[in-house]
C-alpha cells in the first residue's frame, strides 16, 4: 500500500466515559468561559482541546491533527476529532476514549495544573483506519506526551 496518506476519523466520546466530578467551576476563574490548550507533539502533529466552564469544568472538542503513526504498509499522519464533553475530576484529571465507525481509536489522558493554565498528558491514536481508495490499515501512533498551554 506504500506510504499511508492522511485519514480523518471522527469519534464520539459518549458512553465510554467513566468519570465523576466534584471540582467547582470557580477554580478555573473563567466562570462561563472557554479556554483552548494546544501543543505540538514531539514526533509530529498537534493536540488541542477546549475546556469549558459552565458551572463545572469539562473537556470538549479534542482535535488530534497530523499525528505521526506507523501503519501496516507504511507510515503516515492521522487526524482524529473527539466530540462530546468529559468531566474533569476533583484531582483535575480526565480520560477520554473514543472510537470511530471504522475501528480507529483514540485515547487522551491528562491533568490540569492547579491554576488550569496548562495540561499535561498522553495521546494515542490506534486501530483500523479507512483511507478511501487506498483501503484500510492498522495504525498506531504509540503514546505521545503533551504539555499544552
Q: What is the pLDDT of residues 68-90, one digit of tens each?
A: 999 997 888 999 999 999 999 99
Average confidence (pLDDT) over 114-138: 92
Contact 31, 39 (CB under 8 A): no
Do 106 and 82 touch, CB atoms closer than 8 A?
A: yes
Enter the C-alpha cell of residue 17: 466515559
As a whole number of angstroms, the distance between CA 58 and CA 88 comes to: 5
C-alpha cell at 50: 477546549
Residue 1 lies in a domain: no
Q: Write the DSSP symbol of residue 52.
A: E
Q: Is residue 83 part of a domain?
A: yes
Residues 17-38: tens digit of each pLDDT = 222 223 333 345 445 678 999 9
CB 10 within 8 A of CB 76: no
Report the share of the chain in percent with pLDDT over 70: 79
Find the length of the chain.
149
Number of domains in the chain: 1
Owning domain of residue 108: 7-148
pLDDT given at position 32: 61
Decide if 123 contacts 146 (C-beta within 8 A): yes
111 within domain boundaries: yes
Q: What is the mean pLDDT of the chain?
A: 82
Across-strand partners of 108? 96, 123
2 lies in a domain?
A: no
Strand partners for 104? 127
Burial class (CB in 10 A: 0-12, 13-18, 19+), 93: middle
- Three cell numbers at 145? 506526551
Query: pTM of the full predicted structure?
Result: 0.78
Residue 39 has pLDDT above 60, yes or no: yes
pLDDT of residue 6: 46
Q: What is the pLDDT of residue 53?
A: 86
pLDDT bin (cut points 50, 70, 90) of residue 95 is: very high
Amino acid at each position: 500500500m506504500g506510504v499511508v496518506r492522511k485519514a480523518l476519523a471522527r469519534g464520539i466520546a459518549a458512553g465510554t466515559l467513566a468519570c465523576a466530578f466534584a471540582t467547582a467551576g470557580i477554580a478555573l476563574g473563567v466562570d462561563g468561559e472557554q479556554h483552548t490548550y494546544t501543543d505540538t507533539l514531539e514526533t509530529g502533529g498537534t493536540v488541542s482541546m477546549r475546556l469549558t466552564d459552565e458551572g463545572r469544568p469539562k473537556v470538549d472538542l479534542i482535535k488530534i491533527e497530523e499525528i505521526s503513526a506507523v501503519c501496516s504498509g507504511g507510515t503516515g499522519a492521522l487526524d482524529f476529532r473527539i466530540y462530546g464533553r468529559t468531566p474533569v475530576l476533583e484531582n483535575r484529571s480526565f480520560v477520554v476514549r473514543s472510537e470511530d465507525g471504522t475501528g480507529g481509536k483514540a485515547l487522551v489522558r491528562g491533568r490540569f495544573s492547579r491554576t488550569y493554565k496548562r495540561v499535561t498528558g498522553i495521546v494515542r491514536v490506534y486501530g483500523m483506519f479507512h483511507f478511501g481508495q487506498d483501503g484500510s490499515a492498522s495504525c498506531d501512533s504509540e503514546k505521545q506526551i503533551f504539555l499544552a498551554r
